């Protein structure tokens, strides 16, 4: 089952770790057919991959169709209330059994010959069984399913191999940061509506590495947002503020955080009635203080789940609101991704706030987002040059050197209360090097990281 790599890719993977340590990344890995195929096998089939938020499938029988890498799965809550990831392929001829993106089902029925399955994936009925399949043992022919499905504070992940650590261990220390978003309210979060989906001519890694914490690009690429007043400068202006930090090498995940001054309370800019729902609860005092002072977080959970938590508005004439979005960079082909974006709101917040938060999120981070529109243009440029023969022949490497010891004033924070290697500035690229270090380990292991 282990896919072999050509000498060309093997050699790149063999030297990549040392190369990343020097802040050098070969351009071609952003658009390469063999790298892409290996990513499907070594990364997406061997790591925990986000598939849904629990609030999308609240009732028994509720399902959503979701890819894991490029493989089609039905994420369904069975009659027993348990969530499973069923492979969307009939055991008889392999036809698709769930043509819908979402819904509620009692059974999944194959339109080809009529085999039908329970929401737990068991083969339930076969037409003409008593005459045509007298000795068919239905129990042997249930749908394939992802061997592991686990949930962390509402986030549903699936793994296509048994051989992964528990999800809590995979998220590891990064839970300390995730919890500042997910555990702030008693009732938790819920997804608003249906996720956005759109096609970008860029590699999935461009989204993943950018959201790891590319704090350096906002002042240039997103300058128009500040010009028309859709985001506060504190959230999207020049990086390098005294309260800006980068969390690197946090169980393989990373996050970038901008904060207000010590002793202040901002909570990403949530209005007072929503901030009143936030309580320390299961968080430590340090986590709660971080949430309190937060202006913006971006982050990536390896491999392709990212988050943004930020404030802004859809018009300078209207008040700011905060919004929280999960986004996933689904690999479609080398240099081609399908972006998915969910907006989440505190379940206990008012309907009025939820509508406002969603509207502000759409105005900034969505296919039409005034922020996000600009990202896709630059990322597609990366995929375009990454397939260049000349770039390969010239051994073109990209510069990921910001924050290396000899390069900037970034310093590890010795007194930071949270986990990870945390830098006292966001003018450093250890967050992106974290993503590629993890990518390299996953690609080299040929198995789990």
Binding site for other proteins (CB under 8 A): 99-104, 192-202, 221, 223-225, 227-228, 230, 314-318, 338, 358-359, 362-363, 366-370, 372-374, 376-378, 380
Structure tokens at 346: 């505190």
Q: If you count DSSP H runs as helices and E runs as strands, how many of each does the chain have, helices first?
A: 15, 21
Structure tokens at 180: 């500042």
235 or 245: whose CB is closer to other proteins?
235
State how far the Cα of 146 lies from the Cα of 237, in Å rounded to an integer: 43
Q: How far is the CB of 116 from other proteins (least distance, A)?
A: 14
Q: How far is the CB of 410 from other proteins (least distance, A)?
A: 27
Q: How far is the CB of 314 from other proteins (least distance, A)?
A: 4
Residue 327 to residues 51, 61, 309: CA-CA distances in angstroms?
11, 25, 11
State how far the Cα of 314 lies from the Cα of 321, in Å rounded to an integer: 9
68 or 250: whose CB is closer to other proteins?
68
State how far the Cα of 373 lies from the Cα of 379, in Å rounded to an integer: 11
Question: Is there a contact between 156 and 326 (Cβ–Cβ < 8 Å)?
Answer: no
DSSP per residue, 257-293: EEE--TT---GGG--HHHHTT---TTS-HHHHHHHHT
215 or 255: whose CB is closer to other proteins?
215
Structure tokens at 39: 């990513």
Checking 86-89 for CB contacts under 8 A at 24+ apart, the result is 86/117, 86/121, 86/143, 86/144, 86/145, 87/143, 87/144, 87/145, 87/146, 89/143, 89/144
Q: How far is the CB of 73 from other proteins (least distance, A)?
A: 15
69 or 418: whose CB is closer to other proteins?
69
Q: How far is the CB of 320 from other proteins (least distance, A)?
A: 13
Q: How far is the CB of 310 from other proteins (least distance, A)?
A: 17
55 or 284: whose CB is closer to other proteins?
55
257 or 360: whose CB is closer to other proteins?
360
CA nearest neighbour of 326 among 157, 79, 108:
157
378 or 408: whose CB is closer to other proteins?
378
Q: How far is the CB of 139 from other proteins (least distance, A)?
A: 27
């Amino acid at each position: 089952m282990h896919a072999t790599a050509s000498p060309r890719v093997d050699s790149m993977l063999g030297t990549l770790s040392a190369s990343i340590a020097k802040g050098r990344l070969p351009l071609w890995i952003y658009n390469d057919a063999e790298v892409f195929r290996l990513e499907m096998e070594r990364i997406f089939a061997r790591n925990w991959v986000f598939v849904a938020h629990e609030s999308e499938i609240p009732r028994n029988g509720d399902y959503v169709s979701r890819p894991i890498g490029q493989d089609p799965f039905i994420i369904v809550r069975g009659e027993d209330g348990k969530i499973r990831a069923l492979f969307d392929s009939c055991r008889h001829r392999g036809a698709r059994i769930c043509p819908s993106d979402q819904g509620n089902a009692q059974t999944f029925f194959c339109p080809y010959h009529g085999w039908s399955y329970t929401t737990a994936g068991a083969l339930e009925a076969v037409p003409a069984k008593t005459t045509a399949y007298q000795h068919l043992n239905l129990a042997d022919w249930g749908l394939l399913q992802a061997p592991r499905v686990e949930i962390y504070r509402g986030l549903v992940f699936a793994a296509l191999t048994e051989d992964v650590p528990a999800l809590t261990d995979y998220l590891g220390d990064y839970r300390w940061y995730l919890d500042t978003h997910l555990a702030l309210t008693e009732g938790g979060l819920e997804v608003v509506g249906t996720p956005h989906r759109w096609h970008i001519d860029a590699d999935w890694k461009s989204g993943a590495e950018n959201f790891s914490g590319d704090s350096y690009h906002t002042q240039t690429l997103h300058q128009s947002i500040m010009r028309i007043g859709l985001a506060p400068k504190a959230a999207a202006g020049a990086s390098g503020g005294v309260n800006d930090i980068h969390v690197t090498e946090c169980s393989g995940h990373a996050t970038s955080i901008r904060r207000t001054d010590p002793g202040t309370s901002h909570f990403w800019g949530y209005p007072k009635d929503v901030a009143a729902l936030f309580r320390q609860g299961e968080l430590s005092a340090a986590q709660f203080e971080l949430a309190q002072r937060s202006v913006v977080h971006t982050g990536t959970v390896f491999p392709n789940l990212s988050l943004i938590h930020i404030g802004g508005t859809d018009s300078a004439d209207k008040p700011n609101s905060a919004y929280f979005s999960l986004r996933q960079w689904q690999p479609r082909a080398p240099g081609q991704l399908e972006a998915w974006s969910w907006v989440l709101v505190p379940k206990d917040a008012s309907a009025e706030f939820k509508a406002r938060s969603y509207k502000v999120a759409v105005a900034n981070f969505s296919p039409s987002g005034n922020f996000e529109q600009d990202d896709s243009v630059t990322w597609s440029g990366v995929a375009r040059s990454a397939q260049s023969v000349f770039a390969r022949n010239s051994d073109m490497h990209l510069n990921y050197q910001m924050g290396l010891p000899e390069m900037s004033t970034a310093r590890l924070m010795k007194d930071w209360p949270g986990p990870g290697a945390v830098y006292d500035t966001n003018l450093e690229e250890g967050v992106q090097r974290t993503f590629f270090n993890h990518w390299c380990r996953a690609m080299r292991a040929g198995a789990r990281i």
